[in-house]
Amino acid sequence: MQVEIWSDVICPWCYIGKRRFEAALERFDGRDDVHVVFRPYQLDPTAAPGATTPVRDAYARKFGGYDRADEIIAHLTGVAAESGLDFHLDQAQRANTLLAHRLLWAAEHGDDPARQVELKERLLEAYFIAGANVGDPDTLARIAAAAGLSSVVIHGVLEGDLGLDETRQQLAEAASLGISAVPTYVFDGRWTVPGAQDPDVFVNVLNRVRSLSRAATDEAEAAARSKAGSTCDDESCDV
């Protein structure tokens, strides 16, 4: 089963959702057959490369003032703590995330796709917990190296065009799929679940998707056996 998770590295619900989905996988007996891949989404694609904005300021502009921003930050911090995450949104700096998504694309298409999950975790941790600038090339280079990406790949992304077209295509695909909020989970390319659902919900979805996939496989195999069992003579076929 493939689970595509459309998310941004500056989205608090994406980090919370990641932890909740991981908790669900721990309870799912088919977890060894689940392949997780992260897809790009930008909460603020117009953010200027190289510039940062304190989260509190960004929230105040978006939600109607600093009092409301502080309420949201306190709520997110409390919800994150329930999943074992120690958010420091007072230190977080909003930034353009295109470079980060290109590194994630490169990690997925490297010699070990599992590094993408490691890189995603490190990027989220850097932003939400360490207050790092995840739009800064030097910071991204250190994070990517710690996740096991080669210097050639890192250089190709941060100083070249590696993954640029592909990431832009995936961002366009998100729009074509109607994804307008993250996180959004797509199971086997057919079943979509929006939002950072509770682990119980994710467990139910995983079980349901597995059942549906098995039913579809059984139906296809039955059709194949029926076709293989057809016979032909000189005048007709029993199809």
CA distance 94 to 207: 37
pLDDT of residue 214: 76
pLDDT of residue 231: 39
pLDDT of residue 238: 37
Contacts (Cβ under 8 Å, ≥6 apart) of 40: 6, 8, 97, 101, 104, 105, 167, 170, 171, 174
Q: Do 149 and 106 form a contact (C-beta atoms < 8 A)?
A: yes
Q: What is the CA radius of gyration of the chain?
A: 21
CA distances to 50, 131, 195 from 112, in Å: 30, 28, 28
Q: CA angle, corner 217, sides to 108 and 36, nearest 5?
A: 20
CA distances to 70, 80, 88, 127 from 56, in Å: 7, 17, 11, 14
Q: Do 39 and 6 form a contact (C-beta atoms < 8 A)?
A: yes
Before 194, cis peptide (omega within 30)?
no
pTM, rounded to two decimals? 0.89
Structure-token match 């709520």, residue found: 75
CA distances to 76, 174, 192 from 184, in Å: 18, 10, 7
pLDDT of residue 213: 82
pLDDT of residue 227: 52
The pLDDT tens digits along the chain (239 residues) read: 999 999 999 999 999 999 999 999 999 999 999 999 999 999 999 999 999 999 999 999 999 999 999 999 999 999 999 999 999 999 999 999 999 999 999 999 999 999 999 999 999 999 999 999 999 999 999 999 999 999 999 999 999 999 999 999 999 999 999 999 999 999 999 999 999 999 999 999 999 999 998 775 545 445 545 554 443 344 333 32
